[in-house]
């Protein structure tokens, strides 16, 4: 499969930013979507709307619309008949300027769209009304012109405000960093006399040690060098529960410290923090194009062509029918107003803006919108095993003891192994601590090279080691203990023994520990109708054990790193739409090859760069969340497209006057109101996506 769809960004520059950078730069003002709003802001449309509304009032009062509709007659005085022309011209020149500028850009780019339609509608109305005011026979359209411009400004204001609100999560992220930090002088980084100084965050450098007090925000990415506390990471990763932080664990800039006090050695500031990276990824996702957006743009383009043709036919038909130029122009203006693909242009971008920010707040960073869009079509999810479904670290997965309970055996083994650096020793100690078992220090600790370790606990000598340790001491385990070890070996698990002198007391089965969330993730994917496969270089017996425990449909074991992408291609040749979830360098080719590449956020930079979507929390349950978000987003896009296109299909004939013989005529101003209402409906429907529970 071609990898052209992936846009790999050279992030070297991101790692070369000088440390004096302060907060990550705030995102630029949301210019809604598309070039038609280039150079425009929410405030500009708001201000022009209110002033145009004030200018429209006298235009209506001294015009003919109110008299025709309600029989109202305005006070007459010398020159009062010029009031509609004067104020209508002001509305056209001031309020209509953004539409005229937008039309010029569209025509320059040879992509006529809604700005062209609006400009043509108000331009025709202005020129015809000016001609009538100067003596040409007919009824001027000053009121229609002023009302149309004002309502169009209101519609664009609502549209841009909706987009800005959807993108507001970026600004909230930018506000997470504190302005100052409490720096601990380097020679006071230990628990000696502290010398603290308040400094701007911009002055922090890699290697500085900062004090993070209870309730304070973490000023920079770093590693805890002293202290213990729970840190609220919900605003960055979406994790609702505080995450325990101790010496050696990393912290993220912008997260909020809990009740404890932490000293953190800075590893990343400014543009190099995880927070800044999240903001960049969200902006990239909202700026990248998707197939649905391209479809909407093409639909808007052709709708513009159809509208121009319909307007020309309408004008010619009414003139041929002898209705008069004034009425024919009014019908032309109504058609052009109604046909503006305003809601169509909003339908896709607003859903995309909401879905990408909603995903980011839930720990799903969309690097390429095509990945989010394609996730709804998946029927197979392939997980790398180590570090994705498992922790990539060994844990005790089974205990068999003779003459004592399992908890007591684990406690004894952990005390003996506490000073050992062997990975299996670390697994026993970590498992004991995770189960709340205190691990005091032992005495007379000694490593027995090639065999294991021994230490004195409460006056008795104990040893922990594998089969070689038993053989060296001529120790023979009881049949039940040996049967336990044999069963563990068949399951692809390692085993170590606890000995009292030469007597085996217990055995421990060890294996790469499953992530606690993995089983639930697989169940959720099955509930969504997806097949789940696992890809690993481990032996078949080890892979089958993990597959059985998690309920995985297909287990692909003993796959060499350079063959992972080939396995993905093999599944694709079977007609499957495949997502690959991985975290390592050797997963990168498979991530690029898959229809959707999903990188675990805690993985390597290469894997993250290769993925379409990054899971910040390294939680496999975020994969079904991604699929659910993709499906919900697509439903909203389809609903909005049907509403926007269907509205135009029905309204254009009405605006052209097809039902005029039966007394049903759509006034241009009413058409402008209905067009704006269609935009509001699309905006509200897109906002309902926020109710999705991920």
For 591, 596, 613, 621, 633, the CA distances from 576, given in Å and listed in that order, are 15, 12, 19, 21, 22
Q: What is the DSSP string of 112-167?
A: --HHHHHHHHHHHHHHHHHHHHTT-SS---HHHHHHHHHHHHHHHHHHHHHHHHHT
Residue 33: the pLDDT is: 40
Query: Which of 94-108, 380-394, 403-417, 562-576 is predicted least confidently?
Result: 380-394
Residue 212: the pLDDT is: 92
Question: CA Rg, the chain, in Å?
Answer: 34
Q: What is the pLDDT of residues 190-239, one digit of tens each?
A: 455 568 888 888 888 888 999 998 888 898 889 999 898 888 876 565 45
Q: What is the DSSP string of 264-281?
A: EEEEE-GGGSHHHHHHHH
CATH assignment of 356-389+516-629?
3.40.50.1000
Residue among 377, 371, 376 at smallest CA distance from 356? 371
Q: What is the pLDDT of residues 105-116, one digit of tens each?
A: 888 888 777 788
What percentage of the chain carries pLDDT values higher than 90?
Answer: 23
Residue 106: the pLDDT is: 83
DSSP label at residue 36: G
Residue among 535, 567, 566 at smallest CA distance from 553? 535
Q: What is the pLDDT of residues 165-178, one digit of tens each?
A: 555 545 555 566 67
180-272: CATH architecture: Distorted Sandwich (2.70)
Q: Which of 269-273, 349-353, 593-597 tops mean pLDDT?
A: 593-597
For 197, 636, 694, the CA distances from 360, given in Å and listed in that order, are 34, 18, 11
pLDDT at 629 over 50: yes
Residue 659: the pLDDT is: 83
116 burial (CB, 10 Å; 0-12 / 13-18 / 19+) is: buried
Q: What is the pLDDT of residues 364-383, one digit of tens each?
A: 877 777 888 899 999 999 99
pLDDT at 145 over 70: yes
pLDDT at 303 over 80: no
**Catalytic residue of the set 221, 271, 297, 384:** 384
Instruction: State phi, psi for 374 to the nearest 5 degrees.
Output: -75, -20
Query: Which of 248-262, 307-321, 641-655 is predicted least confidently?
Result: 641-655
pLDDT at 2 over 50: no
The span from the first CA to the last CA of the chain, in angstroms, equals 31
Residue 115: the pLDDT is: 81
What SS3 state is found at 665? Answer: coil
pLDDT at 471 over 80: yes
516: tokens are 């606690």
Q: What is the pLDDT of residues 86-102, one digit of tens each?
A: 999 999 999 999 999 98
Residue among 225, 229, 228 at smallest CA distance from 189? 225
91 close to 55: Cβ distance less than 8 angstroms: yes
Q: The tokens 């509205």 sit on which residue?
A: 647
Query: Which of 69-78, 325-334, 440-449, 554-563 is predicted least confidently?
Result: 69-78
Burial call 502-540: b when 16+ CB within 10 Å, e when fewer: eebbbbbbbbbbbbebbbebbebbeeeebbbbbbbbbee
224 close to 246: Cβ distance less than 8 angstroms: yes
Residue 581: the pLDDT is: 93
Domain 393-514 adopts which CATH fold?
Calcium-transporting ATPase, cytoplasmic domain N (3.40.1110)
Residue 174: the pLDDT is: 59
Residue 70: the pLDDT is: 64
3 close to 592: Cβ distance less than 8 angstroms: yes
What percentage of the chain carries pLDDT values higher than 70?
Answer: 80
Query: Which of 283-292, 385-394, 646-655 is predicted least confidently?
Result: 283-292
Residue 24: the pLDDT is: 41
For 76, 277, 346, 399, 603, the CA distances from 616, given in Å and listed in that order, are 69, 11, 29, 34, 10
* Higher-scoring residue by pLDDT: 630, 17: 630
Mean pLDDT of the chain: 80
Residue 587: the pLDDT is: 79
> Alpha-carbon distance 581 to 526, whole Å?
16
119: tokens are 């400009």
What SS3 state is found at 430? Answer: helix
The predicted model gives 268-294 an average pLDDT of: 63
Looking at the chain, how many residues does it have? 694
668 close to 651: Cβ distance less than 8 angstroms: no
pLDDT at 285 over 90: no
Residue among 624, 619, 590, 626 at smallest CA distance from 602? 619
Active-site residue 22, yes or no? no
338 close to 652: Cβ distance less than 8 angstroms: yes
383 close to 389: Cβ distance less than 8 angstroms: yes
pLDDT at 148 over 70: yes
pLDDT at 506 over 90: yes
Instruction: State phi, psi for 69 to the nearest 5 degrees.
Output: -85, -40
> Alpha-carbon distance 65 to 129, whole Å?
14
Same fold yes or no, 356-389+516-629 and 393-514: no
Residue 67: the pLDDT is: 63
pLDDT at 307 over 60: yes
Tell if the pTM clears 0.75, that is, is over it: no
> Where exactly are the structural domains of the chain?
31-166, 180-272, 356-389+516-629, 393-514
> Alpha-carbon distance 336 to 110, whole Å?
19
Q: Which residues pair with 195 in a beta bridge?
A: none
Residue among 295, 395, 289 at smallest CA distance from 341? 295
* Higher-scoring residue by pLDDT: 71, 482: 482
Residue 284: the pLDDT is: 58
Residue 290: the pLDDT is: 55
650: tokens are 């029905």
Q: What is the pLDDT of residues 33-62, one digit of tens each?
A: 444 455 567 888 899 999 999 999 998 888
The predicted model gives 509-519 an average pLDDT of: 87
* Higher-scoring residue by pLDDT: 297, 685: 685
Residue 640: the pLDDT is: 84
């Amino acid at each position: 499969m071609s990898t052209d769809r992936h846009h790999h960004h050279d992030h070297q520059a991101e790692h070369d930013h000088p440390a004096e950078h302060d907060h990550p730069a705030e995102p630029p003002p949301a210019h809604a979507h598309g070039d038609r709003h280039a150079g425009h802001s929410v405030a500009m449309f708001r201000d022009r709307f209110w002033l145009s509304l004030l200018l429209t009032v006298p235009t209506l009062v001294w015009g003919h619309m109110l008299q025709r509709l309600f029989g109202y007659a305005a006070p007459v005085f010398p020159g009062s008949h010029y009031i509609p022309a004067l104020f209508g011209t002001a509305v056209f020149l001031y309020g209509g300027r953004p539409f005229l500028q937008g039309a010029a850009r569209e025509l320059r780019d040879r992509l006529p769209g809604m700005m062209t339609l609006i400009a043509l509608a108000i331009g025709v109305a202005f020129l015809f009304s000016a001609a009538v005011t100067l003596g040409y026979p007919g009824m001027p359209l000053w009121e229609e012109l002023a009302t149309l411009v004002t309502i169009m400004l209101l519609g664009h204001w609502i549209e841009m405000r909706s987009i800005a609100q959807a993108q507001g999560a970026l600004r909230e992220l930018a506000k997470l960093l504190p302005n100052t930090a409490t720096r601990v002088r380097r020679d006071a980084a230990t628990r000696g006399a502290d010398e603290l100084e308040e400094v701007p965050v911009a002055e922090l450098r890699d290697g500085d040690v900062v004090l993070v007090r209870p309730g304070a925000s973490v000023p920079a990415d770093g590693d805890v060098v002293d202290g213990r506390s729970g840190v609220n990471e919900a605003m960055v990763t979406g994790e609702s529960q505080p995450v325990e932080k101790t010496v050696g664990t990393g912290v993220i800039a912008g997260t909020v410290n809990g009740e404890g006090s932490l000293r953190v050695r800075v590893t990343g500031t400014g543009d190099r923090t995880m927070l800044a990276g999240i903001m960049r990824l969200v902006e990239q996702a909202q700026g990248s194009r998707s197939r649905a957006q391209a479809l909407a743009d093409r639909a808007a383009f052709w709708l513009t062509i159809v509208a121009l043709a319909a307007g020309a036919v309408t004008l010619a038909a009414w003139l041929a029918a002898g209705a008069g130029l004034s009425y024919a122009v009014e019908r032309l203006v109504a058609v052009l107003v109604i046909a503006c693909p305003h809601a169509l242009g909003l339908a896709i971008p607003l859903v995309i803006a909401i879905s990408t920010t909603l995903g980011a707040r839930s720990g799903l960073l969309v690097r390429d919108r095509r990945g989010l869009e394609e996730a709804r079509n998946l029927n197979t999810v392939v997980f790398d095993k180590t570090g994705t479904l498992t922790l990539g670290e060994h844990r005790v997965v089974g205990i068999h003891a003779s003459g004592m309970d399992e908890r007591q055996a684990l406690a004894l083994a952990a005390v003996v192994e506490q000073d050992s650096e062997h990975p299996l020793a670390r697994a026993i100690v970590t498992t004991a601590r995770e189960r709340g078992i205190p691990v005091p220090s032992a005495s007379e600790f000694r490593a027995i090279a090639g065999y294991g370790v021994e230490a004195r606990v409460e006056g008795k000598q104990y040893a922990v080691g594998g089969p070689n340790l038993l053989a060296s001491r001529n120790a023979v385990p009881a049949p039940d203990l040996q049967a336990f070890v044999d069963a563990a070996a068949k399951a692809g698990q390692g085993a170590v023994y606890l000995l009292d002198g030469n007597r085996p007391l217990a055995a421990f089965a060890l294996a790469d520990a499953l992530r606690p969330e993995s089983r639930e993730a697989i169940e959720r994917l099955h509930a969504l109708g997806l097949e789940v496969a696992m890809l690993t270089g481990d032996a078949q017996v080890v892979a089958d054990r993990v597959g059985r425990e998690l309920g995985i449909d297909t287990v692909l074991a003993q796959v060499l790193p350079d063959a992972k992408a080939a396995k993905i291609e093999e599944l694709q040749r079977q007609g499957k739409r495949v997502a690959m979830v991985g975290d390592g360098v050797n997963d990168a080719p498979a991530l690029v090859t898959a229809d959707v590449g999903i990188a675990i956020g805690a993985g390597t930079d290469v894997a993250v760069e290769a993925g379409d979507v990054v899971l910040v929390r390294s939680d496999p349950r975020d994969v079904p969340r991604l699929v659910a978000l993709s499906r919900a987003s697509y439903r909203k896009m389809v609903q909005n497209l049907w509403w926007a296109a269907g509205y135009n299909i029905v309204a254009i004939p009405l605006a052209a006057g097809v039902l005029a013989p039966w007394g049903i005529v759509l006034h241009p101003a009413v058409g402008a109101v209905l067009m704006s209402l269609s935009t509001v409906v699309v905006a509200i429907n897109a906002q309902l996506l926020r109710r999705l529970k991920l």
